[in-house]
């Protein structure tokens, strides 16, 4: 694949249940096309997982700091997930646009619903889904980062997100991630308009 930039420079919104492989697919796209894309760094009130770095993985903030961003209208979207807040700041998007890169937002269905009704935000929408919930549960358990209660919360959320993807007319593309390379080629083909 040529490393020329996509003609469509709108941000990419990539959504899907936790454990569906969004992060892996996004990273493959960024690695394969340097100086083209950048993932927005979301703010969150959750604690860092092992290996995560503040300002790179997320902006890890207090609930008070998060609420200030929200009250001041500095978030383009925000949601609560598994008892923690997550949100994308307008400043994070602006920084990426200033670098003349294409922003990628990795957000859940609540965030997707918020940005689709924002008249100032135009994007392309992709939903990444697992082959089935059994595979998703195996991936979540394989991480070893969640207790049983959080795994069940994430599985319940996944059921709602999968139903949302099937019924909403928001997504430009739904990709089943049952084979990483095939799913990546489908994502890349969509992003670069090669289909």
> Alpha-carbon torsion 123, 125, 126, 132, what sign?
positive
pLDDT at 3: 52
Q: Are 19 and 143 in contact (CB under 8 A)?
A: yes
Q: What are phi and psi of 41, to 5 degrees?
A: -95, 110
pLDDT at 141: 83
Q: Are 126 and 187 in contact (CB under 8 A)?
A: yes
Name which of 132, 84, 83, 126 is nearest 107 in CA terms: 126
pLDDT at 2: 47
Question: How much is the pTM?
Answer: 0.86
pLDDT at 96: 96
pLDDT at 33: 95
Q: Are 21 and 175 in contact (CB under 8 A)?
A: no
What is the mean pLDDT, run by run of 10 residues, along the chain of 195 residues?
A: 76 91 95 95 94 93 97 94 90 95 93 90 94 80 79 86 87 94 96 85
pLDDT at 115: 94
């Amino acid at each position: 694949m040529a490393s020329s930039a996509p003609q469509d420079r709108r941000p990419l919104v990539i959504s899907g249940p936790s454990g569906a492989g969004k992060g892996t697919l996004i990273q493959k796209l960024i690695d394969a096309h340097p100086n083209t894309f950048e993932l927005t760094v979301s703010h969150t009130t959750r604690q860092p997982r092992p290996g995560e770095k503040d300002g790179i993985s997320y902006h890890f903030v207090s609930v008070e700091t998060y609420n200030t961003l929200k009250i001041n209208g500095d978030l383009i979207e925000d949601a609560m997930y598994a008892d923690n807040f997550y949100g994308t700041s307008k400043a994070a998007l602006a920084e990426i646009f200033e670098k003349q890169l294409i922003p990628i937002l990795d957000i859940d269905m609540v965030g997707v619903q918020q940005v689709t009704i924002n008249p100032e935000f135009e994007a392309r929408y992709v939903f990444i889904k697992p082959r089935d919930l059994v595979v998703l549960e195996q991936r979540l358990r394989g991480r070893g980062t969640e207790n049983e209660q959080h795994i069940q919360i994430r599985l319940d959320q996944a059921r709602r997100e999968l139903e949302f993807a099937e019924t909403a007319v928001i997504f430009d593309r739904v990709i089943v991630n049952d084979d990483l390379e095939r799913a990546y080629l489908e994502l890349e083909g969509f992003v670069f308009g090669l289909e």
